[in-house]
Amino acid sequence: MSAVVSELPCVQAQMPEHDSLDSVLRHWNGTDDLWVFAYGSLIWRPGFAWQERRITTVKGYHRSLCLWSHHHRGSRETPGLVFGLDRGGCCRGVAFRVAAADVPVAFAALWEREMIDGAYTPRWLNCHGDAGCVSGLVFVLNRGCANYAGELTEESRMAAIRTAVGRSGACLEYVVETDKALRANGIEDCRLGALVRRLAPAC
């Protein structure tokens, strides 16, 4: 663990859609550690090296099962649903601090995982927590993408979650594990918890 952490200023900075990784890191000096905000499967399966984790809140967006998944948690024939940060409200999640030396590899892995179909827009957003505020990379929903699910009936949502399976596993597992990870970190998502209880017979 490094003793000194140089944090990016806590300011709101919006980026253009479909930015490249190089563009997202254009202001990084190469020596400061960087933060990544997790609100879904990144909480329980980050897939990159990290030095510290904090419970933080991002304002202006809420966690929602609002994206069709044809790769990780579904297929073209039977699409699943994955989380996005949609407009409005706030979202409590986990901010991971990535050591400067690990940033190139960690962020490249994040790009390969999150930016495969234009579903997310990368932004540096304020992540507020008990230890203060840090500027973290957040993958927010791109409503203009082809996979935006929009408003679904409860029956359609439940059917997709129960039946879809992708290269990363079942959609049901994804939803249940995210709920478990949130509760393990003391984060209450009432809507997600209620959904998982309705899915219980299939778990």
Provide the pLDDT for residue 181. Answer: 97
| Architecture (CATH level 2) of domain 21-197 | Roll (3.10)
* The predicted structure's pLDDT at residue 29: 96
Domain map (residue ranges) of the chain: 21-197
According to the model, what pLDDT value does residue 118 have? Answer: 85
At 3 the pLDDT is 32
Render the burial of 50-60: b for 16+ CB within 10 Å, e for the rest: bebebebbbee
Q: 0.85 cut: is pTM over it?
A: yes
Secondary structure (DSSP) of the chain: --S---PPP---B---TT--HHHHTTT--SSS-EEEEESSHHHH---S--SEEEEEEEEEEEEEEEEEESSSS--SSS-EEEEEEEEEEEEEEEEEEE-GGGHHHHHHHHHHHH-SSS-EEEEEEEEEETTEEEEEEEEEE-TTSTTB--S--HHHHHHHHHH-EETTEEHHHHHHHHHHHHHHTT---HHHHHHHHHHGGG-
> What is the bridge-based pairing of β-strands 34-38 and 132-141?
parallel
- pLDDT at position 174 is 96
pLDDT tens by residue, the chain, 203 residues: 333 333 444 444 443 434 689 989 999 999 999 999 999 999 999 999 999 999 999 999 999 999 999 988 999 999 999 999 999 999 999 999 999 999 999 999 999 888 878 899 999 999 999 999 999 999 999 999 999 998 889 999 999 999 999 999 999 999 999 999 999 999 999 999 999 999 987 55
Determine the pLDDT at residue 202: 59
Identify the pLDDT of residue 203: 55
